[in-house]
Amino acid sequence: MTLPTGVSRRSVLAASAAATVAAPLVSSGAAQAGGTAVEKTYRLTVLGTSDTHGNVYNWDYYKDAEYDDSAHNDVGVAKLAALVNKLRAEATGPVLVLDAGDTIQGTPLATYYAKQEPITSTGEKHPMARAMNVLHYDAVTLGNHEFNYGLPLLNLWIRQLGFPALAANAISAKTGKPAFTPYVIKKVSLGRHAPTLRVGILGLTNPGSAIWDRANVEGRIEFTDMIATAAKWVPIMRAHGADIVLISAHGGDSGISSYGPELPNENPSALIAEQVPGIDAILFGHAHREVPQRFVTNLTTGEQVLLSEPSKWGQRLTKMDFDITRVKGRWKITTKAATSLNTNTVEADPRVLAAVRRQHEKTVTYVNQVVAASTVELSAATSRYEDTPILDYINRVQTDTVTAALAGTEYAGLPVLSIAAPFSRTAVFPRGDVKIKDVAGLYIYDNTLEAVVLTGAEVKAYLEYSAKYFVTHAVGAPVNPETISDPAVPDYNYDVFSGVDYDIDISRPVGSRITRLQIGGVDVAADARFVVAVNNYRRSGGGSFPGIVKTQVYNAQQEIRQLLIDWAQAKGRIDPADFSVRNWQLVREGVPVF
């Protein structure tokens, strides 16, 4: 394995033990055809995963049941491992396994070992390290969610891996050098008499981490443009002997970003293929889409670059096949193709299950703890398009927390507003016992609570931006709740306010939909001042909402999910009478839609 310039041997020590992959030949040997030698053809298979998001077991911790959805997908590294092992056994050539990031966040299992019993304080091995080490990856790329729990936990997780973690465009603010291993070159044996194949693997992480996890990375790590970084490192990898260059990129292929132009492109994988010569294939992630096979023509060389994205959570496995042969003493790819394989076709790998069983069971026990009793059933099913008590619950807890924290300060006299988004369409607080899993199902992200000061004009601009979520519906036209929103805007980028009364007119153009903005029946003045409770993702620029990226007046680094649990435990019951206020509605020319 070749070490990149400027990277310490210690940072890639975990990869050294697995630097050579041995495999038999694929096709028939050299033969004499009319006196002319016919070169042997070999096959290299690259398997790819991405966005596993803390899923090991095929388990839904929020429902406390085996995972299932309408398409009967399965999830988890145990399922991936079973499929990988099957393909390894069937392969007639070498097999490499890569991951394109977003690994250590996303399930109560991952959260438990980051928050309840963090591996940084207990000496425990992270469940995703246990699971992935059993699967025997060759490399993993860091995703943006790897930075959610801070650098100490991330660095410890990396040390626990038996393979390298890559991120060429994550740069140490102190040294100006890569903060993690940029790339590795795997020496792949094709057989006793064949020359060694050297496969270069470059990892690119998402620059959005500079916004989404600003508190964890600011002043420590800077994120450079993924396209420019690839352009820098691909020639270096070739110069160091890489016969084939693969990129594992945590960035989608759409070419657009969810944040503004102040940072490099969030989803540039197709642009990398198009603009950077010398790349053979790109495994990409981040967008949670299934892209079995896509070819992009490089503008410089005219070569076809193969791209593939394997959906999310371990539901799919990318399989790339490369047929290679020797031409004038050099390895050449003659054909390449990719496909997507469904993990619901195999049974979970028992070794992965055994490696994580104790941690899985501890998490299940934790999420089934009762926190309070609800007087009625509360559902989030309609929270996107009508005011619901369950979203009011989030806003009430956030409002109470910020109000108490600012007592006695210069901001104590300002009204406190709160912002929440409908993260889940399936979240329910049942009548009777409400458990941690129910709260976690409502607030599925590990956000912390912050607060800033906004003017009335800024609140209105924020609401106008949020209201672009809805498709325009002319007066009198039918409204279907299932198609009421713009599919290009995810639910988590639609926010509702508490503390202010407003109407959203979905018959009007985007930008002029807030037709009523009042408190106590009085219009909100443009220069009025409010404290606004908001999560750290939004406050740091996630979703590019206007006016919210400013200095906090409150930031105690308290996780919102835990605040929701604590509030319920302190009360002992969840009663809508304590927090439900119908303060917003969708209208058309003043007539309520619902």
Which residues, 6 or more positions from 476, have their beta carbon under 8 angstroms from its beta carbon?
none
How does pLDDT run across 444-453, given as a tens digit for each residue?
A: 998 999 999 9
State the CB neighbour count (10 A cutoff) for residue 592: 10
Higher pLDDT, 339 or 37: 339
Residue 28 has pLDDT above 70, yes or no: no
Region 400-427: mean pLDDT is 97
pLDDT for residue 38: 55
Burial class (CB in 10 A: 0-12, 13-18, 19+), 410: exposed
How does pLDDT run across 469-492, given as a tens digit for each residue?
A: 999 999 999 999 999 999 999 999
Pairing of strands 416-420, 529-535: parallel
Residue 36 has pLDDT above 90, yes or no: no
State the CB neighbour count (10 A cutoff) for residue 6: 10
What are the DSSP calls for 453-510, one per residue?
Answer: EEEHHHHHHHHHHHGGGBPP--TTS---GGGSB-TTS-GGG--EEESSEEEEETTSPT
DSSP SS3 for 106:
coil
Residue 182 β-bridge partners: none
Three-state secondary structure of 179-208: CCECEEEEEEECCCCCCCEEEEEEEECCCC
How does pLDDT run across 318-359, given as a tens digit for each residue?
A: 999 999 999 999 999 999 999 999 999 999 999 999 999 999
What are the DSSP calls for 16-74, one per residue?
Answer: HTT-EEE----S---EEETTEEEPPEEEEEEEEE---TT--SSEETTTTEE---TT---
State the CB neighbour count (10 A cutoff) for residue 375: 14
Share of the chain above pLDDT 90, in %: 88
pLDDT for residue 193: 84
Which residues, 6 or more positions from 583, have their beta carbon under 8 angstroms from its beta carbon?
387, 497, 498, 499, 500, 501, 502
How does pLDDT run across 178-202, given as a tens digit for each residue?
A: 999 999 999 999 988 889 999 999 9
CA-CA distance, 468 to 149, in Å (whole number)?
Answer: 31
262 — pLDDT class (breaks 50, 70, 90) = confident
Residue 185 β-bridge partners: 200
pLDDT for residue 291: 98
Pairing of strands 330-342, 378-379: unpaired
Share of the chain above pLDDT 70, in %: 94
CA-CA distance, 375 to 369, in Å (whole number)?
Answer: 18
Burial class (CB in 10 A: 0-12, 13-18, 19+), 231: middle
Q: Which helix (H) or strand (E) holds 86?
A: helix 77-90
State the CB neighbour count (10 A cutoff) for residue 263: 17
Region 43-71: mean pLDDT is 96
DSSP SS3 for 516:
strand
* 99 close to 370: Cβ distance less than 8 angstroms: no
* 450 close to 536: Cβ distance less than 8 angstroms: yes
Pairing of strands 432-435, 584-588: unpaired
Region 222-237: mean pLDDT is 98
pLDDT for residue 191: 84
Say how many CA atoms lie within 13 Å of 531 toward its Cβ. Answer: 26
Which residues, 6 or more positions from 575, have their beta carbon under 8 angstroms from its beta carbon?
374, 375
